[in-house]
Amino acid sequence: MSNKIYPIGIQNFESLRQDGYFYIDKTALMYQMVKTGRYYFLSRPRRFGKSLLISTLEAYFQGKKELFTSLAVEKLEKDWIKYPILHLDLNIEKYDTPESLDKILNDNLEYWESQYGTRPSETSFSLRFAGIIQRACEKTGQRVVILVDEYDKPMLQAIGNEELQKQFRNTLKPFYGALKTKDGYIKFALLTGVTKFGKVSVF
C-alpha cells in the first residue's frame, strides 16, 4: 500500500512534492502552454486548482528542477532558466473599502521595489508596476514572469456596490495596463480568476 496521502487543501507545489503527496502529472500540458503562448487567462470556480497551477509555474520558472523529478517536464525542459517572477495573490484580502485594494497593491510593489529599485517619478501604482517590470528584466538579464492569482476578487466582492466596484476598476485598469506597456520585458503572464471583467485593460 502506498504511503502517499491526498493533497486536500494543498496549494503549494513545493510542499506537495517535498512532503510526498499524490500528484497527478500535468506538467507536459504546462510545458506546452509555456512554449506556445505568452499571455493566458484561466477562469475556473474557486478550489479548482488555479493556485496550485500558479505555484507549479512559479517553481518551474524559478528553475527548481529537483521538484520535477520523475515528472514529464523533467525530460522536456533542457535549460531550467531562472526568471524574475512577480507573483501577486489577490486572494488573501477582504475588499470592502478602496483602501483594502490599495494596501495589498502597495505592499506587493514595495516588496518588489526592495529587490529591483524604484524611481521618484513613479508616483502611481501603474507607473511603479511598469518600472518594476522593466528593471527586473534589466537587472537579471531575463524577461519577467507575471503570475496573478484571483485577479478579479476585488471586483467580485464589490458586486452590489456600484461605487466601490467603479473605484476598484479605476485602480486595476491602469495597473494591469502596465502589462501592455511593458510587453517587451515580459516572458510569460498568467492571470486566474472566476469570471471575466471588462474595462480593466486585461482583455
Q: What pLDDT is attached to residue 19?
A: 79
Q: 202 in a domain, yes or no?
A: no
Helical spans, DSSP H, in the chain: 13-18, 27-36, 50-61, 72-76, 98-116, 125-140, 153-157, 162-181
Q: What is the mean pLDDT of the chain?
A: 90
Convert the pLDDT of each residue in 138-188 to its tens digit: 999 999 999 999 888 998 888 889 999 999 999 999 999 999 999 999 999
H/E run at residue 146? strand 144-149
Q: What pTM was estimated for this model as a whole?
A: 0.90
pLDDT at 51 over 90: no
Whether the Cβ atoms of residue 40 and residue 167 lie closer than 8 Å to each other? no
pLDDT at 199 over 80: no
- Tell the residue number behind the cell numbers 517553481, with chain if given: 59
Q: What pLDDT is attached to residue 43?
A: 82
Q: 6 in a domain, yes or no?
A: no
Q: 21 in a domain, yes or no?
A: yes
Q: 110 in a domain, yes or no?
A: yes
pLDDT at 193 over 80: yes
Q: Which domain holds residue 145?
A: 13-193
Q: What pLDDT is attached to residue 102?
A: 96
Q: Give the other-Cβ count within 10 Å of 18's Cβ.
A: 11
| Average of per-residue pLDDT across 195-200 | 62
Whether the Cβ atoms of residue 191 and residue 42 lie closer than 8 Å to each other? yes
Q: What pLDDT is attached to residue 1?
A: 41
Q: 1 in a domain, yes or no?
A: no
**In the chain, what's the furthest Cα-to-Cα distance?**
61
* Overall number of domains in the chain: 1
Q: 35 in a domain, yes or no?
A: yes
Instruction: Report the b/e string of 79-109 with b at 16+ CB within 10 A.
Output: eeeebbbbbbbbeebebeebebbeebbeebb
Convert the pLDDT of each residue in 79-118 to its tens digit: 999 999 999 999 888 899 989 999 999 999 999 999 999 9
Share of the chain above pLDDT 70, in %: 89
Q: 44 in a domain, yes or no?
A: yes
Whether the Cβ atoms of residue 105 and residue 171 lie closer than 8 Å to each other? yes
Whether the Cβ atoms of residue 186 and residue 144 lie closer than 8 Å to each other? yes
- Which amino acid, 24? I
Q: 102 in a domain, yes or no?
A: yes
> Which positions ≥6 away from 171 have C-beta within 8 Å?
98, 101, 102, 105, 125
| Average of per-residue pLDDT across 43-55 | 78
* CATH code for the domain in which residue 189 is found: 3.40.50
How far, in Å, CA of 131 to CA of 86, rounded? 12
Instruction: Report the b/e string of 134-171 with b at 16+ CB within 10 A.
Output: bbbbeeeebbbbbbbbbbbbbbebbeeeeebbebbbeb
